[in-house]
Amino acid sequence: MGANGNRYQEECHRGHRLVEPNTKPGTGGGRRCRACERALSTAHNNFVRHGIPTSKEELDALADAKYAELRA
């Protein structure tokens, strides 16, 4: 697939559609899921600032909530 493998993907690994406004430019011309990026950022900030770990299930739910916000 190479560095540009995400360029032709239709969904991220969590099943979110990679269409505007949910796409973010990735390295080398690829695309990234904006909802998943925001969820990871929120989880990271919660851990660093407050010491609150996030489980995979919580991260998935947070990513889905961010995706719903972007679609609204």
Residue 15: exposure state from Cβ atoms within 10 A (0-12, 13-18, ≥19):
exposed
**pLDDT given at position 50:** 96
Position 24 scores a pLDDT of 85
Q: In the structure encoding, which two tokens stand for residue 71, read together? A: 């679609």
CA angle 62, 27, 54 (to 5 degrees): 20
Q: Which domain holds residue 45?
A: 5-71
**Residue-by-residue pLDDT tens, the chain, 72 positions:** 555 665 678 899 999 999 999 998 877 777 889 999 999 999 999 999 999 999 999 999 999 999 999 998
- 10 Å Cβ neighbour count for 9? 14
- pTM metric for this prediction: 0.82
Q: Which 3 state secondary structure label does DSSP give 51?
A: coil
- Overall number of domains in the chain: 1
